[in-house]
Structure 1
Amino acid sequence: MGAGRFQRGGLAGAVGGGLVSEQTLRAERGRAAAVPDSFYEPPPAVEFPEGGGAPVVRFTGEDGRECVFRFEELPLPGLHRDFAHALGVRIGPGGGRRTQRAASSQWQTVKRFLLLLDQLAEPPRRVEELRVRHLERYLVARRQTCEEKSARRNLQDLLRIVRVLPGQERLEGAVADYAGQPGHGVDAQQVGRPGYSDREFQVVMAAARSDVAAIRDRIMAGERLLGRFLDNDASLSMAEREQGARLAAMAATGRVQVDYRGLAVGEYPAACYAQARQLFVTDPDLAPLLIYAAGLSGRNPETLKELPAEHRVLEGRAVALTLTKRRRGKSNARTSVHWSVDTERELRTMGGFYLLLHRLMARSRAFSGTGSVWSIWAGNGRGRVLHAATGGHIGPFDAELARKLKLGAWAGRHGLVGDDGKPLEMLVTRIKKTVEVRTAKQVGGHLPSVRLTNTADTSFTHYLRADPFVAEWAADVLTEAITDAEENARAVVVRLGGEPAAAVPERVREQAAAGALDTLASACTDIEHAPGGGRCGQSFLACFGCPNALVLERHLPALLALAEALREDLQRRDVAQWAARYGATWQILTRDILPRFSPAQRAAAQQRQPRLMLDLLEGPIQWS
């Protein structure tokens, strides 16, 4: 609902007749929201001056951020009214672009398109003169300054604006068809940059952590000196007392107090800046603080930039606060989180780090009046003029989220280098993706467990699927799984006669694996000591019930050949006679031995099985 003023009577009636101020009235459980007495119409998003001037589009986002787009700076005035209306639809209360950054992007699309049309020899003067070639020309122009998928996304934005131009019947049929057809940029997905490798992430976090610790120690040192001055510490030197007095004035008024004696005029800004850093967070501090917050929390940069100052500490073990994530849509734009707190190591957990941020920027926040946890002193340069009433203190992301943090310069100061040997490209979005990837690895790729700030589908589609480090890790995991499976399969060891295979000495097992102890279709672990005593003189059939017999994978071809020979013999012999002679051997072979091996192992052994004669299993024939 746009800005409006309710009448006092309407407010009182909405709460049962009580006199309640406009500032304190709010909808609660069991209580209806206040509504005006008469018809309410929000102010229009598009303003058309009565004198016939260029239209103005005003935007107020759901987060309270505002901006104004003036068509007077654009050419082709005959198109202004229609495109202003379309822009108002796209960024208005019912449109799909409800943040300041998104609205500005839509404005840039309109601006670029009209400037491009103005460069043509015969530009269109009205929307009726728009042609498909004009839209295609826009795509070609965007390709000259950005990559293909970015250019197609720009075309996507333009087509969405064209589809809401007023009076669609005035458009040429081919233009309307082109704007509605898929494949011209609509639903074009842009593949983002991958996350950082483990080494890159570690060096980034180490650099950010060192800066965060330095910021903390710097401000705490200023606070200690201020405290000693206010306590009239007799041990303070004259210089410390003068500095303490300046800090006390800064703490009381928010305005930086500097001793300019002995300084050249050109040195004044640096001295003012150095003095402010004793008690306040400043603009260059935002880069390491935001990077470290992203590495700890795994949250998107826009969510971190809107961290609220309001929170609850739960038994000193966790901090609870409400986060904003607008990509989830209007109904799910806010979510409550609970971050653990480590009181001894505040840089270890996100809860402890959040409380540190809250403490470091508390003084500045008292002067800036922001509801965000982020508040800095920006008194030098432009901020000194624009924010004179607050002493230069501002919520850096209150006016817009797209504040320049100079992340590249920060990475350059620390000499951060990528795995390719080039200067590391520093993006907070890549840190978010890296945390998502590392979480996926830690839980073995189980997507429901990976889900931290997104659904499992979103995590896979936008963070994991195209990431090269995930692909490499998954390939390693798959290779290890296959190797383990093969090793486990080859580790099949069957000790016959009911004895455990683990009791076989390792030295004997190695000899069996090498074939030094082979009999006809198994290995004998102790031929000199048969179960009946002395050296074994039994037939090979007796091996299948002997505790000295050991079966390994190398025996599988012979075992399969034995099974085949027994089947063939059954076709030639009486069943009762065959069962009396080979029944026990068949049972052990088919139920206790062969099922231990995988189908793949049996299939491979089938290709190289020898031809066995059952006479060999009976032992030597005694001729008389």
Structure 2
Amino acid sequence: MSQDSPRAGRGCAAAVPEGLYQPPPVVEVPKEGGSPVARFTGEDGRECVFRFEELPLPGMHLDFAYALGVRIGPGGGCRTQRAASGQWQSIKRFLLLLDRLPVPPQRVEDLRARHLERYLMSRRETCSEKSARRDLQGLLRIVRALPGQDRLDRTAADFAGQRGHGVDAQQEMRPGYSDREFQAVMAAARSDVAAIRDRLAAGESLLRRFLEAPDSLTLAEREQGVRLEAMARTGRVQVDYRGLSAGEYPAACYAQARQLFAIDPDLAPLLIYAAGLSSSNPETLKELPAEHRLLEERAVAVTLTKRRRGKANSRASVHWSVDPDRDLRTMGSFYLLLHRMMARSRAFSHTASVWSIWAGSGRGGARHAATAGHCGPFDAELARKLKLRAWADGHGLVGDDGAPLEMLVTRMKKTVEARTAKRVGGHLPSARLTNTAQTSFAHYLRADPFISEWAADVLTEAITDAEHHARDVMLRLGGADPKAVPQTARNKAEVGELDTLAASCLDMEHHPAGGRCRSSFLSCFSCSNALVLERHLPALLALVDALREDLQQRDAEQWTARHGTTWQILTRDILPRFSPAQHAAAAQGKPLLPLDLLDGPKEAP
């Protein structure tokens, strides 16, 4: 340690509160009697309260409240408001179903397996098989958490403990969109986003001209400018109600608010377009923060919330590229556009999210009275109804089957994952955008029919290409380059116009040593004019047989002197270049080679 460095001190112990820590109870039971109440606080700070007094069968309330507390408590598996609400809905639907039975069970001990099976059948009447099995899984988790499992009837306990009730539901996966469907959705969303941008820009332009040069405006523009100035200052929508009936007030209020603020119908195209650009889950996009860092006008750094990764890994920083000239080209530019369009509303809603809209003063508007009707649309809960089906129907979007297109943000993410995998040739480490390669394959690519079809085509092309290259053997002997063969000469060789004994001669009139070639056919295999193709393989195999037969008739030393070089070229350099399948096919059509051809051309007597 350097002598100039100060010595580290001993440090201080962290302050610890006195006594044992007692977390607030998840389930509260009124002392004066009554139904229990379960309270949930998610990791994101969102809260909800579940009151059992609104449910029938009070004899089961305490047991099911305890089981719900286990599921939504600190040690349970529910970390978000939506997951906790799903568990509550399972209990609510189950007790309402039991209450409609001719003889409903009154206690947990009265539950039977047939009650659980009836719950599955009732869910099938109102939802798909996948949703019904998922709901059954949620109920079975509650049943397995009921206190005193030994009190349960054996059939009910066995049914709840059986595995596989939801396996089929989890294996089925809704695919992404086809390329045509995806392009149609993105085109519709892009047109809406551009219209929202231009609408708000027009309102801001009128407000700016009113503040800078009101005398240059017409009377109608000045009156509108006065209302816009009051809206920008107070956040409250100013409407000229003259000549309007009471039934027209809400529409006029929204028409005025949309001049400066984003409103509820704007959320659908904005969220869909964000999913198409970023390939993020809808819950991640709904929790986009307003806080960000702009890096040299080229990229924007944003900290995302990724709740599916668990509490320890729920934060991830991403860097999105920015194109200053095109707001709708990259996710970074689009994020900054969102930030600008919702800045005025965000100043009144005080939300930490980039999303902020004027929600109005209608049903539920009292909750936003303190913020002049402005709110973060996903602050209270992520499951806000966006009316995606109505948006898709309004644009006339249809699927490849001709039916109205089912619009889901999750399918947009799957589509982008699949398109990215195609673009990089299926290399998953390069294709991953927001997940690991294993997650991308297991949850987004494995069961996608478009990816399966594309992968089958790629595999077929690869096999065909490999087979073509394996069969397309072209050898230049004597050390010559096969790529230097003119196409016209190759075409002649392929049809047999240049054939010799077991090869083709590219130029018989010009021997490498000069003059017309008068050498033995066996010398072709060491000549730079020789060319060997797959069509020569039967003759090559026949030549090998002829050389073996000639070996039986000559002295080994004499045979080696005459044919040893040719044998080595054939067996070491030429024949190994062909596959076993090619050898087997060629062996079926070997020609008969006269042995006197091995000695080359002779003078006529």
Which residues of 2 match residues 187-198 of structure 1 at below 5 A?
189-198=170-179
Confirm or deny: 8 A CA contact 1:205 1:292 kept in the other structure: yes
User: Is the partner of 1:526 in helix, strand or coil?
Assistant: coil
What are the equivalent positions in structure 2 for 1:1-400 lying under 5 Å apart?
Answer: 35-185=16-166, 189-400=170-381
Using structure 1 for the length normalisation, give the TM-score: 0.91
Q: Per-residue deviation at 1:292?
A: 0.6
Q: Deviations over 1:91-116 (max 9, x none)?
A: 11211012111111111111121122
CA contact (8 A) 2:214 2:222 kept: no
- Choose 245-254 or 555-564, whichever is displaced more: 555-564
Task: Report the residue type matching 1:59 in the other structure.
Answer: F
Deviation at 1:383, TM superposition (A): 4.4
Shift in CA distance, 484/429, structure 1 to aligned 2, threshold 3 Å: same
Give the letter for the 1:125 counterpart: Q
TM-score by length of 2: 0.94
The CA distance in 2 between the partners of 1:265 and 1:559, in whole Å, is 98
1:23: which partner in 2?
none
1:108 and 1:189 map into 2 onto residues whose CA distance is 20
1:31 Cα deviation after fit: 9.4
Name 2:480's counterpart in structure 1.
499
What per-residue deviation string (whole Å, max 9, x for no partner) do you get for residues 1-57 of structure 1? Answer: xxxxxxxxxxxxxxxxxxxxxxxxxxxxx9987653443322211111223211111
- SS state at 2:48 partner: strand
**1:461-519, CA deviations, whole angstroms, 9 ceiling, x for partnerless residues?**
11101101101111111122122223323332112232222332211111111122222
Question: In the alignment, what sits opposite 2:427?
Answer: 446
For the structure 1 residues 72 and 190, does the alpha-carbon distance in structure 2 shift closer, same or farther, using more than 3 Å as the test? farther
Q: Are the counterparts in 2 of residues 318 and 340 from structure 1 also a CA contact under 8 Å?
A: yes
Q: Distance in 2 between matches of 1:303 and 1:579?
A: 78
Runs of 5+ consecutive residues of structure 1 not aligned to the other structure = 1-29
d(CA) in 2 for partners of 1:187, 1:38: 50
Task: State whether residues 296 and 349 of structure 1, in contact with CA within 8 Å, keep that contact through their aligned partners in structure 2.
Answer: yes
> What is the distance in 2 between the residues matched to 1:169 and 1:47?
24
- Aligned residue for 1:434, secondary structure, equals helix
CA contact (8 A) 2:361 2:368 kept: no
CA offsets per residue over residues 320-356 of structure 1, 9 Å max, x none?
Answer: 1211111111111111111111112121111111111
Helix, strand or coil for the counterpart of 2:126? coil
| Structure 2 unaligned spans of 5+ | 1-10
Shift of 1:149: 3.3
Q: Secondary structure at the match of 1:382?
A: coil
Cα deviations across residues 74-93 of structure 1 (Å, max 9, x unaligned)?
22111111011101110112
For the aligned residue pairs, the C-alpha RMSD in angstroms reads: 2.1
Q: 1:407-439: CA deviations, max 9, x gaps?
A: 111112222222222221111000000011011
Work out the CA distance in 2 between the residues paired with 1:362 and 1:33.
Answer: 41
Partner of 1:516: 497
- The aligned counterpart of 2:459 is 478
Distance between the aligned counterparts of 1:514 and 1:380, measured in 2?
A: 85
What's the CA shift for 1:186?
Answer: 6.7
Q: 2:444 aligns with which of 463, 467, 475?
A: 463
- 2:23 is paired with a residue of what secondary structure? coil
Change (3 A) 1:190 1:532: closer
**Higher deviation after alignment, 326-335 or 483-492:** 483-492
**How many Å apart are 1:617 and its aligned residue?**
2.1
Q: Percent identity?
A: 77
CA distance in 2, matches of 1:599, 1:536: 34
Report how many aligned residue pairs link the two structures. Answer: 595
Q: How far apart are 1:607 and its partner, in Å?
A: 3.4
Alignment partners' CA distance in 2, 1:161 and 1:187:
20
C-alpha separation in 2, matches of 1:33 and 1:469: 57
Conservation of the 8 A alpha-carbon contact between 2:267 and 2:386: yes
Counterpart-to-counterpart distance in 2, 1:567 and 1:103? 83
Asked if structure 2 preserves the Cα contact closer than 8 Å seen for 1:543 and 1:549, the reply is yes
